[in-house]
Structure 1
Amino acid sequence: MECKKDQNLQRCNCTYDPCPRKGICCECLQYHLKSRELPACCFPADAERTYDRSFEHFARLVSQKKV
């Protein structure tokens, strides 16, 4: 399967600039799930900027109807 990195980068809202996985969604997802986290694209912009990608943070946002 061919990676569509250029297309992915157009939609990627990750603000962590030195990330080597930026635009490579399969690697990003694998990396974050291993740490019990979700990737930036699961979070609204203001929540993403906190770099708290935890499942718990996501659950709080869902309960507050922000996601």
Structure 2
Amino acid sequence: MECKKEQNLKNCPCSYDPCSRKGVCCDCIRYHLKNRELPGCCFSKDAEKTYDRSFEHFARLVMEKKI
């Protein structure tokens, strides 16, 4: 399967600029799940900027109806 990195970058909300996985969603998801996290695209813009991508942070945001 061909990677659509350039197309993915247009919609990638990740604010961590030096990330080598930016736009390569399969690598990004694999990396974050391995670390018990979700990728930045699962969070609101404000929540993503905190760099807290933990499952627990995501759950809190859902419970607070912020996602």
| Distance in structure 2 (CA, Å) of the matches to 1:54 and 1:10 | 24
Distance (whole Å) between structure 1 residues aligned to residue 36 and residue 8 of structure 2 = 22
Task: Give distance in 2, aligned partners of 1:9 and 1:59.
Answer: 26
Residues 11-55 of structure 1, C-alpha deviation per residue, up to 9 Å, x if partnerless?
100000000000000000000000000000000000000000000
% identity of equivalent residues: 73
Other-structure match for 1:24: 24
* Superposition CA RMSD, Å: 0.3
4+ residue runs over 2 A deviation: none
State the aligned residue count. 67
TM-score, normalising length: structure 1: 0.99
Q: 1:63 is aligned with what amino acid?
A: M
Q: Which residue of 2 aligns with 1:51?
A: 51
Gaps of 5+ in 2: none
